[in-house]
Structure 1
Amino acid sequence: MANNFYHETIKHLHVGYAYHRIICDTQGVPVDYEFIEVNKAFETATGLQSQMIIGKTLTQILPEIKDSDFNWIRFYGEIALNNGADEIEQYSEPLKRWYRIQVYSPETNYFITLFHDITREKQDLAEKNLLLTTLHDIVFEVSDDYYFTNVIVHDETTLFMPKNKIIGSHITTIFSKDISDEILSVFKKTYTTQKKQNYEYKSPLISDERWFLADFFCIKTDQSFKFVVSIQDITQRKVIEKSLFIEKERFRTTLLSIGDGVISTDSRGYVTLINKVAEKLTGWSLQEAYGLPLDQVLCLVDEYTRESCENPAARVLETGAIIELNNHTLLLSKDGLTIPIEDSAAPIKDQDGHITGVVIVFRDFSDKKEKQEQIEYLSFHDHLTGLYNRRFFDEELRRLNTPRNLPLSLLIFDVNGLKLTNDAFGHLAGDRLLQKVSQIMQEKARSDDIIARVGGDEFVILLPQTTIKEAKELAKRINTALSQENLEAGHISISSGWGVKNTPDEEIDEVFKAAENKMYQYKISERSSTRNEAIQFIMKTLYEKLPREQEHSERVSKISGLIGTELGMTNEEINELKTAGTLHDIGKIAIGNEILDKSDKLTNFEWMEIHRHPEISYSILSSLNDYAPLANIILFHHERYDGKGYPKGLSGDQIPLQARIIAVADAFDAMTYGRPYKEPLTLEAAIQEIINGKHTQFDPEVADVFLRIVSENNNEL
């Protein structure tokens, strides 16, 4: 019955009613809307009959709506999609009528409109406006194509040219281009906004010092529109304004030199002055605020309770004392902004000591407050991952170490290969690794679990009222999820340990140590295989990044092995030498392709980047037990026999023999196969370079052994 009642009520309303559904494209942008229901008053107001429109879209009914100046679909769409409401007055081009429309959305994607036909009202208003304009000195009527059609003036001598020459002329023929362009712009804005526009101008006559104020109106009829421009002489006002401006500038200069907001009031607490900073903070201009009660302009509330704060002017006027606002005071600006402020208020006294007003000085406290909150946040959070830090974890551990939280479990995680990732792919890659680990932990843990980053690569999860079985299951879920993630250094691997406090007499520190020991045991057992996999992954990535490096590394390894054999090295030493030859350029993984693949001459900066790769290789390999012996060999393979190489400038026997061997093999292969920035040499030219480099770039003994190998192999390697 209720539905029938409301339906009948809507049906017999004298206000036009329509119910619509908004239609969006695949991107969720409104492109049309459908008519679902309308009443008789809507049909009367719009001329659209229900049997012709129900079930149809707006563009089907009124295709020309797309050409309207006002975008009806966008306006209604924003309300329907956001469950909003609004009220507008708008002219409908297709229906040639003015409407006052109330619209609201009862549910997402649907909206209801209530139509009032105000065409007659608008026409009456336009006529009244036209009548009012005749009270001014001059009135011009201008057609929609900017021709003067009529001039109404009390004294024709006030015109800058005879009336009969103005009527029938175009704006551009009356005024200079600069002035006519400005006036045309005002006409267009008047038409677009349908609101009165003002324009001040000086008489176009050179000898005439008069100033005028023009009020522009757009008068719409059923079929067309015209403009009415009312002119009044404001010369006297300009003279007064100039005088006042000079006086005002004295105060303005003082106020503008103050970086804080300043508002002064009279003895009643009404605003008499407000500087630019205060205007910006409050949203009130001096013209708007002048004469208003202070608490209407300076609206203050408590940050936490949102209750209004005491009016500082009233308190000063009552007590005569200087006061300061308490902490946590917010300014509610006219624009709807909420600004933390700090301020003080002091009395203004005359020569007899009587209070004649109050001056309030205040400043935006946002930056300072934000920094305080940031400092507070950072004191308990890790800046990289956003997790809690060690300080917060230690406090929470003490707080939660109570019988009611038993069993109290701990999970400790250590990220494997963080240093290797940093060395090989840069610290940003290491940061992404830590962020991904923290993200997975947050996804898999419960919302009230305490997750903290307590060290560079170490994380802890504190689990109140959690059994060790549940803790292990969480660790397993985290490990499984991380093993499926791929970053620069391949699969993510973490070592984990756990501990639990079951009884009140157990020491939580001992539980923490037990979990830490389990984690380290796991880490040690997995370290070798994990790091070996990491090195192989880095080399694979390097070869994918620079395909030529794989063949180059293999050739350097082969040539180095031949030289080592000829020098009488043991099989173990030769294998080590060949492995070092394979890995000698692993550090290039951290150098950009834009340098390594550059075909033009390298700049000094680019050479400096290239020269970093032996040290990067050393950083990657030196921390790994299986590869540590190779680290020094690779670090020094670009040293020169004469001490002019890099990175340390070693000379002669200071350079490890294996590094001197790789130096010859690397140089020969680079010369014969070339580089992006350098064409390859012929075999004969490369051999000559080796000969020329003895005692300077190359160890002469190693060079001679290499040359002998080349000769014995008929110049083929």
Structure 2
Amino acid sequence: MKGFSFTPFTLISAIKSIDRSFLNSYYIPEFKEKDELSVLSNEVKNLLERLETYQREIEDKERKYSTVVENSAEAIFVTQNKIIRYANPAASKLLGVAKEELISRSLEDFVFADDLEKKKKHVVDLINKGKKVIYGFDFRLKAADGSIKWVEGSLVLIDWDGSDAVLYFLNDVTYRKIMEEEYQRLLDEKNLVLDGIEELVLFIDRDMRIITANKKACEVAGRSREEIFGGKCYELIPKGKEICKSCPVLEAIWTKKVAAGEIYSADGRIWSAKATPVKDKNGKVTGAVEVLLDITDKKKYEERLKHMSMYDSLTGLYNRAYFEEEINRLSLMKGKFPAAILIADMDGLKEINDSMGHSKGDEMLKICADLLKGVLRSSDVLARIGGDEFAAVLPGVDEEKAQKIVQRVYDAVDRYNEKHQEIPLSISVGIAVQERENEPLEETFKKADDLMYQNKLLKQSSSRSHVVRALLAALKEKDFISAGHAKRLEEYCVKMGQKMGLSFEKIADLSLLAQVHDLGKVVIPDEILFKKGPLSEEEWEIMRQHPVRGSRIALSSPDLAGIADLILKHHERWDGKGYPLGLKGEDIPIECRILAVADAFDAMTNDRPYRRAMKKEEALKEIKNEAGKQFDPQVVEVFLSMFTGKDDKEVINLNEKRAN
């Protein structure tokens, strides 16, 4: 016999097959003699009595087993070759079919079509693969009224009337399934909401293990929801080896209140954490919901803002706001008397910005800041308090020390200029010391500022001249067309001016203009000035800025201010197509019209980075062709006469012709 023998039914069946009348119809005599027959008779009598006792016990157990099976809340079926051989009342109630009608029908008639194969597979595994018992698998049944019932089934292989049969225990789990589906729906909705936010959301138990988490938390942990389950929260998110310091989850669990804090990851990230305790119906805390937000960028931004509120972004020194706060702080402190205030102003910044661009001006400001920082002590508070102005608070410095500090600043400037003669550095300094202990530092600051401005006024003209001389030296170094370009222009221009009867003053301006008209080109990048090939439109746009730049530089120098307007207009054309103002005809100063012809001729007859020089005859022809377009026709006539051998008297005097 295979498998389990269903003992109660089998044994009851066997007992029922005994003819009970036998016990009552046969009389067993009693023998007083103690011979063999007497002993046998007594043994038979005892046997029959025990048999009767067994029968009563079996009948009693049968009633008990029958009561249990018939009153079981589980639906119980016995099938043999797919046919129902037994069904208890719970089975009848489950399917809505009378018990008698179920017998001899196939259980598969009631199995939902989509689950039939799954159910068959379990039966095959039970019968053919020797599993004997299969526990807890779910499938659906169709009741007589058409409703669908979810059941959880267990199968046992038994012997039924000498043949294999399958005993089914089926629990109606329809309500549970409905609740599970509703729970899953709510869970999906919750996940849909939680997965749509940037914060990390974790459900954590009292042992700091993750129960579930949203999509963002799983992404950060690098695991799926299934993989993250049961992991220690501090191992998966901050990726640490122990509970985070000031852990808000622990605080929320122990205090039963919402807790917040910041968590630092091993990879340098910073998280804002908020934990809310989760309580059961009795108020006991079972865990916490933790919400984490990556605030690394925010923290860095706050640090930058904090730094910006204290420091100057260009030089890295303290800014004016911090300097004023430091003055207020020191004013309230005792034992810092005397204290000195140093004010330093970098001279010529405007001229450098106008001539060489703000990037060069910024570079010089950094140099100035580094120089002052190198002179002062680390305990001194040095700040940039304006565009070209610096200030320092010097605690514990008396008048004697103050003057030595000023001298050290000037010595440092001299050392710098010895090594960097191209653009000299000039600083005006004023320093003042508290005269009495209760003197406000604001008053000391004003005295130092006044002294600085007095110093600046004394050297203002000189410092500007230094800058201009440096720029002229740079222009001479570049002499970018060919050696002697400025000298040749001067000769051409002076000779034409003389032929045209210009005044001595105009000829002097013309001579100086010939030398410095390209002053603005010192700020044009070398890669444009010396480019081997035609300039692009963008490069031409940069090149066309040099008259304006040169004019600004000239205005800052007493020696060049008189020709600043000529420098501005030296690229205007007779036909009005020049730059930067687009002037036309005699609106262009005569000096600029003369220079335009001489400059063009010299450019054509000398090598350029992008072409070879023309022959003199070709250049003169080109000059003549441009008369009335690029050049003043009368200036061209004067210029051509210088190469034709004509006597000066044959040249039409410009002023006379205009008068006619």
Task: Decide: shared fold, TM above 0.5.
Answer: yes
In structure 1, what is the equivalent of residue 127 of structure 2?
none
Is the Cα–Cα contact under 8 Å of residues 489 and 595 in structure 2 kept in the other structure? yes
Aligned equivalent of 1:416: 347
Residue 379 of structure 1 aligns with which residue?
Answer: 309
Q: Which has the higher strand share?
A: 1
Out of 319, 325, 328, the residue aligned to residue 260 of structure 2 is: 325
Query: After superposition, where does 1:244-643 map in structure 2 within 5 Å?
Result: 257-266=196-205, 269-274=208-213, 277-278=216-217, 290-294=229-233, 308-312=245-249, 315=252, 319=256, 323-326=258-261, 329-331=262-264, 333=265, 336-346=266-276, 357-401=287-331, 404-485=335-416, 486=419, 489-504=422-437, 506=439, 508-548=441-481, 551-643=484-576
TM-superposed deviation, 1:362: 0.7
3-state SS of the aligned residue for 1:484? helix
Q: What letter matches 2:288 in structure 1?
A: V
Distance 1:393 1:669, change over 3 A: same
Distance 1:618 1:279 in 2: 66
The structure carrying a bigger helix percent of its residues is: 2
CA distance in 2, matches of 1:582, 1:278: 72
DSSP 3-state at the match of 1:527: helix
Q: CA deviation at 1:353?
A: 9.8
Contact 1:424 1:616 in 2 (8 A): yes
Whether contact under 8 Å (1:281, 1:364) holds in the other structure is: no
Find the counterpart in structure 2 of residue 688 from structure 1.
621
CA displacement, residues 670-701 of structure 1 (integer Å, 9 cap, x when unaligned):
12224223433322222222222223222233
- Alignment partner, residue 605 of structure 2: 672
Moved more, 443-452 or 246-255: 246-255
d(CA) in 1 for partners of 2:278, 2:297 = 30
Q: In 2 relative to 1, CA 539–714 (structure 1 residues): closer, same or farther, beyond 3 Å?
A: farther
Does the Cα contact within 8 Å between 1:261 and 1:361 map onto a contact in 2?
yes
Does the 8 Å contact 1:542/1:549 carry over to 2? no
* AA partner of residue 202 (structure 2): I
Q: CA deviation at 1:495?
A: 1.5
| Farther-moved stretch of structure 1 (279-288 vs 600-609) | 279-288
Find the residue that maps to 2:431 and give its secondary structure. strand
The CA deviation string for residues 426-462 of structure 1, in whole angstroms up to 9 with x for no partner, is 3222222111211122222111111011111111111
CA distance, structure 2, for counterparts of residue 512 and residue 692 of structure 1: 67
On the 8 A contact 1:553/1:584 being kept in 2, the answer is no
Superposed CA offset, 1:114-144 (max 9, x none): xxxxxxxxxxxxxxxxxxxxxxxxxxxxxxx
Partners of 2:372 and 2:225 in 1: CA distance: 55
Mapped partners of 2:260, 2:248: distance in 1: 10
Counterpart amino acid of 2:197? I
Q: What is the distance in 2 between the residues matched to 1:277 and 1:476?
A: 63
Counterpart residue identity of residue 550, structure 2: S
Distance 1:519 1:570, change over 3 A: farther
Q: Distance in 2 between matches of 1:397 and 1:550?
A: 57
| Residue 708 (str. 1) matches residue 641 (str. 2) | yes
Q: Displacement of 1:312 after TM fit?
A: 2.0
Distance 2:610 2:188 in 1: 67
Conserved? CA contact 1:300–1:308, under 8 Å: no
Give me the whole-angstrom Cα distance separating, in 1, the residues matched to 2:586 and 2:351.
31
Q: What is the rounded CA distance, in whole Å, between the counterparts of 1:714 and 1:599 in structure 2?
A: 41
Kindly state the Cα deviation for residue 583 of structure 1 after the two structures are TM-superposed.
0.9
Secondary structure class of the residue paired with 2:335 = helix
- Report the residue type matching 1:470 in the other structure: K
1:422 alignment partner AA: N
Structure 1 alignment gaps of length 5 or more: 1-245
Ranked by relative contact order (alpha carbons within 8 Å, sequence separation 6 or more), the top structure is 2
In 2, distance between residues paired with 1:314 and 1:537?
A: 69
Match for 1:371: what amino acid?
Answer: Y
Change (3 A) 1:713 1:494: farther
Partner residue, 2:51: none
Q: Report if aligned partners of 2:605, 2:615 keep a CA contact under 8 Å in 1.
A: yes
Identity percentage over the alignment? 35
Q: Write the distance in 2 (CA, Å) between the matches of 1:559 and 1:445.
A: 55
Give the direction of change, closer, same or farther, for the CA distance of 1:281–1:654 in structure 2 (3 Å limit): same
Q: Write the mapping of 1:627-666 to structure 2, written as runs, cut at 5 A.
A: 627-666=560-599
1:226 alignment counterpart = none
Deviation at 1:558, TM superposition (A): 2.2
Conservation of the 8 A alpha-carbon contact between 1:421 and 1:489? no
Deviation, 1:625, is 2.9
Query: For 1:438 and 1:280, how far apart are their aligned partners in 2?
Result: 48
**Contact 1:263 1:361 survives alignment (8 Å):** yes
Q: Which amino acid aligns with 1:370?
A: K
Q: What TM-score results when the alignment is normalised by the length of structure 2?
A: 0.62
Whole-Å separation in 2 of the counterparts to 1:359 and 1:517: 64
Partner of 1:153: none
Q: Do the aligned residues in 1 keep the contact of 2:524 with 2:546 (CA within 8 Å)?
A: yes
Aligned mates of 2:458, 2:279 — CA distance in 1? 82
Q: Distance in 1 between matches of 2:220 and 2:336?
A: 49
Report the Cα distance in structure 1 between the residues aligned to 2:342 and 2:222, rounded to whole angstroms: 53
Distance 1:691 1:279, change over 3 A: same
Aligned length: 459
Give the RMSD, CA atoms, in angstroms.
3.6
Give the distance between the partners of 2:548 and 2:249, measured in 1 at CA: 66
Secondary structure of the 1:325 match is strand
For residue 350 of structure 1, report the CA deviation from its aligned partner: 8.5
**Aligned with 1:707: secondary structure?**
helix
TM-score (norm 1): 0.57
Q: Go from structure 1 to structure 2 and tell me whether the alpha carbon gap of 1:713 and 1:273 turns closer, same or farther (over 3 Å shift).
A: farther
Equivalent residues of 2:318, 2:382 under 8 A apart: yes
Map of 1:113 onto structure 2:
none
Alignment partner of 1:344: what SS? strand
Indicate the larger mover: 282-291 or 451-460: 282-291
User: Structure 1 318/528 Cα, relative in aligned 2: closer, same or farther at 3 Å?
Assistant: closer
Q: What is the match of residue 61 of structure 1?
A: none
Q: Is the 8 A contact 2:315 2:365 kept in 1?
A: yes
Find the structure with the greater CA-based Rg: 2
